[in-house]
Amino acid sequence: MNGSTTFDLPISGMTCASCAGRVERALGKVPGVQSVSVNLANERAHIEVLGQMDPSVLIAAVDKAGYTASLPQTETKTDADQAQRLHRERWSLTLAIVLALPLVVPMLVQPFGLHWMLPAWVQFALATPVQFIFGARFYIAAWKAVRAGAGNMDLLVAIGTSAGYGLSLYEWLTAPAGSMPHLYFEASAVVIALVLLGKYLESRAKRQTASAIRALEALRPERAIRVREGQEEDVAISALTLNDLVLVKPGERFPVDGEVVEGQSHADEALISGESLPVPKQPGDKVTGGAINGEGRLLVRTLALGAESVLARIIRLVEDAQAAKAPIQKLVDKVSQVFVPTVLVLALITLLGWWLYGASLETAIINAVAVLVIACPCALGLATPTAIMAGTGVAARHGILIKDAEALERAHAVSAVVFDKTGTLTSGTPKIAHLAAVDGNQSLLLQQAGALQRGSEHPLAKAVLDACNEQGLKVEDVSASQSLTGRGIAGTLDGRLLALGNRRLLEESGLEAGDLAASAKHWEAEGRTLSWLIEQGAQPRVLGLFAFGDTLKPGALEAVTQLKARHISSHLLTGDNRGSAQVVAQALGIDDVHAEVLPADKAATVAELKKTGVVAMVGDGINDAPALAAADIGIAMGGGTDVAMHAAGITLMRGDPRLVPAALEISRKTYAKIRQNLFWAFVYNLIGIPLAAFGLLNPVLAGAAMALSSVSVVSNALLLKTWKPKDLEDPHP
């Protein structure tokens, strides 16, 4: 058989990017495997094999590499497992902190002349569960790393904490009766507790990332009404085949991609294409699965199913974009791969050096352990999480929800911001942009249109009625009102038969645009939606013309201006027509416009811009999800879809565009704190390791220095809490 088969296997036990790499290498060695991609974000392996293969072979390969693979479960079961694991991690973290606090407090108050040191047996009783129960995961991960010939942070944590714990045990057991030896239980317990905090935050981020895919998949209806030989039957989507006829009722989502066979309606495709206005549908028109049907019943012929549908392709694009993102842990692991062996070699050199120098074996061991203790990545592990926690906390108070630590770290370098149009820079609801009355009486024209539209739920009708309310115009009742499907609406007002509708209605009435032709052409070029008010009857005539369009959000111009002041370029990226895009761009002073762009192309456009700098994407719809995931930083506008918010690393709680420059500012400040913290963390190591190696820093002082480095890092991070957005006039809703 020449065909290929794909498998998606859940993988557990991965803690870092190097783990994902080891799983990929293990699966790649299985005969018949063509390609492997392991996604750390959703903890899945996507495998393509030649012909058919028993999945147990792949599972066995993963098990041999030291990890666990299983067959895919239902979404409900997966969610439950993830929630249970997160709950378990939260309890482990809480208990580890509770046990470590009594150990670290006496050490912190000792310089102030307070001697609160606990008896040795109490320290042992508190530290042992932290070391071997809550710290067991680090020993397991370290063993896997050693077996694979790699070094990671888990290995350093395991060695450093074991050294501190082992030395404490040695000092306690060899101390003369009645004396109080120097113990280092607090160093090992605190390191483990703090690293567990980082692991817990990482697990939460992973869960949020995976939820983007789940939110997209939830848009796909599970069932459809199939019509065969005039009989309607409710079937599962999986039971449908190509060319099946499907009935879609008003208000329902289209279950498949297809072509309208019977009926007329409008489709809300805002989530798919970015088009803010309902799109008319009649026989011969294409419809997209996931879009919402309007007022009419439609019979649709199925043209695409499953993986070939537009929505499925969007899901794949989001998955691919997420998989392409390098996790933050990857950088930490790279540092560790050099840091760990270097520290181990230095500790060994210290041990041998002092022993050969003639010092006692105990002195040599104590100095070597001091090197390992001072090198424990306590401050290094705290540098990023504390700054991120402080930065995200203060940002949330001002309506900026930062969910992705990587986005926070990268946002400082943004050189270009790509804005979606509809719902992001504009309100997403149509308003009357222009109107022209043949007789010059615009108020009467508006009243007549309002009378026809009274009681209608159509977005254009709402725009007309809103305009009447704003001008305080009284709207009369019409008689004999009727909907002209695909054309507009008609009714009788004061004995006159009036109709309001599109160009098709104008042409069917045998009328010409006349004096309004130039205005109509100009407004259409701007991307406006046109509606003609005509008088029907014995002598039909044109009464006036309405042009509908989207309106700019308050703060949109200010946001673009602020970005320009910071030398950040703005781009407009939309599925709308070029005319309407240009109108918005000119109003805001945006030079780079990408119009009539499909979801797949949005991600490609962002990828192209990434070649020249760091790109932030701002959007609010499903159609923006691939681009949000593909960008260096995805920013979702409040009031948008859940999918966009899940795909983005930053969510603005309100739809205020001015929050975009504010989000970049707090990200820049947070990144500055991260750099400062990492500097101090490394400085302590650069100064402390040589001092420890030369015997000038015993393990007690090494532990204190490590704690001091942690205090300085946390204190520095807390300074972020004083941040306030300068350019936001109303930071609170």
Selection from 483, 484, 502, 480 nearest residue 493 by Cα:
480
The C-alpha atoms of residue 465 and residue 596 are separated, in whole angstroms, by 30
Q: Is the CB of residue 373 less than 8 Å from the CB of residue 160?
A: yes
d(CA 219, CA 269): 13
* Other Cβ atoms within 10 Å of 73 Cβ, number: 12
- For residues 346 and 178, what is the distance between their CA atoms, to the nearest angstrom? 35
Check if the beta carbon of residue 274 is closer than 8 Å to that of residue 422: yes
Alpha-helical runs (H) found in 427-545: 442-453, 459-470, 503-508, 517-525
Which of 154, 244, 333, 420 does the annotation list as catalytic?
A: 420
Structure letter (DSSP) for residue 526: T
∠ Cα 688 690 693 (to 5°): 105
| Rounded Cα distance, 582 and 702, in Å | 63
Which region, left, alpha or beta, applies to residue 695 given φ > 0 means left and ψ of -120 to 50 means alpha? Answer: left
Tokens linked to 52: 């058919």
Which tokens sit at 700? 């007690």
Cα 298 to Cα 481: distance, rounded to the nearest angstrom: 23
Sheet holding 33-39, edge to edge: 33-39, 44-50, 4-12, 68-69
Distance CA 484, CA 339 (A): 74
**Distance separating alpha carbons of residues 354 and 370, to the nearest angstrom:** 13
Q: Under DSSP, is residue 656 helix (H, G, I), strand (E, B) or coil?
A: coil
Cβ-Cβ contacts under 8 Å for 147 (sequence gap 6 or more): 66
Is 730 part of the annotated catalytic residue set? no
Q: Token digits for 375?
A: 């090198």
**Do 465 and 453 contact (CB within 8 A), yes or no?**
yes
Pairing type for strands 541-552 and 400-402 reads: unpaired
What is the longest distance spanned by two Cα atoms in the chain? Answer: 119
Which positions are catalytic?
420
